[in-house]
Amino acid sequence: MLGYLFPGQGTVRVGMGAWLHRSPVARRRLDRIDALLARPISPLCARGPLERLVATEHAQIAVTACNLAALAVLDEEGYEPTVVAGHSVGELSALHAAGVLDLDCTVRLVELRARLMAGVAASGAMTAVMGLPVERVEELAEAASAPGEPVVVGLENAPGHVVVSGSRAALDRLADLAADADKIVPLKVGNAFHSPLMAGAERAWAEAVAGVPMREPRVAVVPNVTGEPTLDLGVLRGALVAQLTGRVRWTRTMEAVAPAPPAPGPVSVVEVGDSKVLTGLARRTGVRCLSMADPATLRRLAKAVAA
């Protein structure tokens, strides 16, 4: 059994995808993605500047391009996952890997999602709260919220690694209340993603998701908002809409992708893209994950699957 994990927006950096250009199949995939876009993303990935690359309208398609190119490498090697999941915008890459979305639709949906989210008036931010259980962070978020100034748990990344999302005033109040946290780290993002403040983009996004052709998944997909594997196309379509304002339940997702013994889980979990972020989060949950950004991964993966 084999699980694929696809990273999201917070993994971009100048120079990302360089190793993919050394693979003919990955390079063809990147060229195809560039051709589908209003503006090619590869030059920005290669040379920056960083401030443009990290902008939402560019970051989401940049990470998706690397995800899909890395997937092409695994496809060429003959691997087939038994379960897939993607972190935030990475969920669209996962849906492609499961056969739900074709390449063109995946790229165009990501491009639209990025544009819609970037177009929401910037009224919020996100902050990582380290060292507290999610239940405690939920209490802090409720106490810090006020009418018109919400803050919610946006990302459950791993035990003791929770990200809150909401209005800046509420985030300031939460930071004052969280004296028991190990660390409070403001994130460099453009807005309060995965929170009610993204509601301005929800209608147009829902219309786009409803109108795109989708096929029944050939492998199980774990949506962000449920953290439960499913083959139900209706559930997947609804979850893709809900995750714009809903919580990324990544801790639960990791439990679903790699259940603890004696439950049968994948012998290997692979982070498919040019990132080691999800590999690090997996380690915090006790799951061994191989990153495609590591040159040794294909060799290690072959050994693990053979074993």
Q: Is 57 left (phi over 0), alpha (psi -120 to 50) or beta?
A: alpha
- Work out the end-to-end distance of the chain between its first and last CA atoms, rounded to an integer number of angstroms: 11
In sequence order, what are the beta bridge partners of 167? Answer: 124
- Euclidean distance between CA atoms 150 and 170, whole angstroms: 6
Give, as one character, the DSSP assignment of residue 162: E
Q: Quick one: how far is CA 264 from the chain centroid?
A: 25
Q: Going by C-beta distance under 8 Å and a sequence separation of 6 or more, which residues neighbour residue 246?
A: 194, 224, 225
Computed over its alpha carbons, how large is the radius of gyration of the chain? 18
Backbone angles phi, psi at 233, to 5 degrees: -65, -35
Place of tokens 């544009």: 115
- Euclidean distance between CA atoms 223 and 249, whole angstroms: 9
Q: Measured on CA atoms in the order 72, 221, 207, 188, is the torsion positive or negative?
A: negative
| Structure-token pair, residue 272 | 């498919």
- Euclidean distance between CA atoms 174 and 152, whole angstroms: 10
The residues annotated as belonging to the active site are 88, 194
| Cβ count within 10 A of residue 234 | 9
| Structure-token pair, residue 70 | 């890395």
In sequence order, what are the beta bridge partners of 156? Answer: 162, 249
